[in-house]
Structure 1
Amino acid sequence: MAVCQQQPFLRPKTPFTGPLLGGLQEGKSVIIIGRVLVDANRFHVNLKYGSNSEADNALHINPRYEEEIEHIVYNTYQNCSWGKEEKSNCPFIRGQPFILQILVTKEAYKITANGKYLMDYKHRIPFNGVYTIFVDGMVELEFIGYQYPAVVPYKTMITGGLQPGKDIFIYGFPTKESKSVEFNLRHRYGIAFHYLSLFDENKVVCNTYENGSWGTEEKSGGVPFVKDELFQVKISCNKNHYDVFVNGQEVQTYKHRFTKLDDIDIFEVYGQLQLIFVYV
């Protein structure tokens, strides 16, 4: 079962200051998903040593667009002064969505952008004193999360079961070798909602598993995912059906066959994908 995670911040406004509950811990990741504004000159992400936006910066990540060559500056602000800058290329494109992941290890922050390795930034301030994230600049934020890595196959409990109005969010990337992306809403006797995207056949299959057998498949053409590209899936539970949205577009409606929604208490993810975050 998945470890209970801090609830993410959804569509926060900038400037944004938020807590990292329990402080940074080895093995956990900070995840920022957003979109760089078309006319952006720079934005910045800061991991703050302490509990407010005025504290020292253990890690400052600053994409810059106003200079001839776009790049990212990394630094630490301590004792009222900046340290030595480190730099990398900037994979964040103005006007385009991005995902930034910061994995905490004993020696360094391992930083990836859009699923690709960017750099290791060695600790200059002890990471276990970092309790705050601060984001500002010319960027729209979709999501900020703090978690242990999600691993496929993935399974987590739905506390209290499903109810009309309940939404489930999934963020990830299908790999270049991906054959399928699969989501299941389960109860103790079977699967209430099975959603399966098959890349080779370019189709989506939805079904219900009850009494030891599958029901009639509902098929539709066109897989809504692109290999190696970030997706956001929202599965909405309504009174009579499920709605599935991919990157904000409705792609599927599936009428309830199993109607005891309170009994649906497990969510699963399978397939060949890099799973970033699940929020139930």
Structure 2
Amino acid sequence: MMAFPQQFYNPGTPFTGTINGGLQVGKSITISGWVQPGADRFHVNLQCGSNTNADIALHFNPRYDSLPGYVVANTFQHGRWGTEERKQNFPLPTGSAFNLLITVTSDSYQMNINGTHFMEYKHRISFFQVNTIAIDGKVDISSITFSNPMFAGLPQPGFPSQPGFVPAFFSVPYKAIISGGFKMGRVITIQGTVHPNATRFNVNLNHPYGIALHYNPRFNENVVVRNTKYGGKWDSEERDGPMPFHKGQPFTLTICCENHSFRIMANGMQAHTYRHRFTHLQHISELEIDGDISITSVNV
């Protein structure tokens, strides 16, 4: 059973929030949102306090004053900025949705954008001092989720190309208890890789009488099937929309529970919306994943 993660849902900007329990090795922060059209910049700060002159351990600052954009990473300490680190080839154009994953390791922050490793930023301030997240600029945030490490002593997986990382893969089929059921604002994030010769995989949100959401990418048909099962019988399938997954490629799948539907994002991009057919969301009790994928991270 996994602990219910700390979450903020649809916060306005500027936003400042307390990080419950602070940071630790393996803790991850998933930020989903949209870069506003015509944006000049925005930032995500991991801070040592919420006051205006607090030290900033990580300043993650996408800028768009030159195309196609770049990221400045820096630290603010004792009232002064340190030396900037800049990363070009930024995969976040203005007007686009994104999923940013920040994972704490013993010596750095690892930044993953839309399922792909983007950059590493070495610690200049001890992460144990960080207790606040702040976001501001030309960005709309849909959710912020904090997840503690799944296994003590292991780094959060998902960056196999980085020296020193040993990816931990979850066994498939995979099941996890959803404590407290579903409700508006709850978010599930799954990271993994589609097998090179994949036929299909599925993600199910189960309840005692069936399946509230069956999300089923089928590569042999190039379609994502969505459906609901109740009392042993399937309802009518939904098959419209894109196929955002590719054989042999990593992915980040995010399922957000909204008032009337599940909003489903793949690699930070809006993919599908599925209206609730099973409306007793509080009875959804299990996440089930099966098929031709490897799983490296599950935040429930």
Work out which of the residue numbers 154, 157, 178 in structure 1 matches 2:178: 157
Counterparts in 2 of 1:190-269, with a 5 A limit? 191=210, 193=212, 195-199=214-218, 200-201=220-221, 202=223, 203-208=225-230, 215-222=232-239, 226-227=244-245, 231-234=253-256, 243-246=261-264, 247=270, 250-252=273-275, 254=277, 264=283, 266-269=285-288
SS of equivalent to 1:226: coil
Which residue of structure 2 aligns with residue 78 of structure 1?
77
Runs of 4+ in 1 over 6 A off after TM superposition: none
Which residue of structure 2 aligns with residue 20 of structure 1?
19
Counterparts in 2 of 1:108-147, with a 5 A limit? 108-147=108-147
**Contact 2:61–2:71 under 8 Å retained in 1:** yes
TM-score after normalising by structure 2: 0.73
Q: Which amino acid aligns with 1:183?
A: N
Cα distance in 2 for partners of 1:193, 1:44 equals: 37
TM-score after normalising by structure 1: 0.78
In structure 2, the CA distance between the partners of 1:21 and 1:251, relative to structure 1 (3 Å rule), is: closer
**Contact 2:204–2:211 under 8 Å retained in 1:** no
**Contact 1:17–1:53 under 8 Å retained in 2:** no
Which residue of structure 2 aligns with residue 212 of structure 1?
none
SS of equivalent to 2:233: coil
Structure number with higher strand proportion: 1
Deviation at 1:192, TM superposition (A): 5.4
In structure 2, the CA distance between the partners of 1:142 and 1:25, relative to structure 1 (3 Å rule), is: same
Deviations 1:107-135 (A, max 9, x none): 11111111111121111101001000111
SS of equivalent to 2:128: helix
Deviation at 1:17, TM superposition (A): 0.3
Work out which of the residue numbers 187, 194, 198 in structure 2 matches 1:169: 187
Which residue of structure 2 aligns with residue 45 of structure 1?
44
In structure 2, the CA distance between the partners of 1:53 and 1:116, relative to structure 1 (3 Å rule), is: farther
Cα distance in 1 for partners of 2:271, 2:68 equals: 33
Deviation at 1:267, TM superposition (A): 2.0
**Contact 2:53–2:79 under 8 Å retained in 1:** no
SS of equivalent to 2:277: strand
**Percentage of pairs with the same residue:** 31
Work out which of the residue numbers 162, 177, 186 in structure 1 matches 2:207: 186
Counterparts in 2 of 1:28-39, with a 5 A limit? 28-39=27-38
In structure 2, the CA distance between the partners of 1:231 and 1:130, relative to structure 1 (3 Å rule), is: same
Deviation at 1:245, TM superposition (A): 4.3
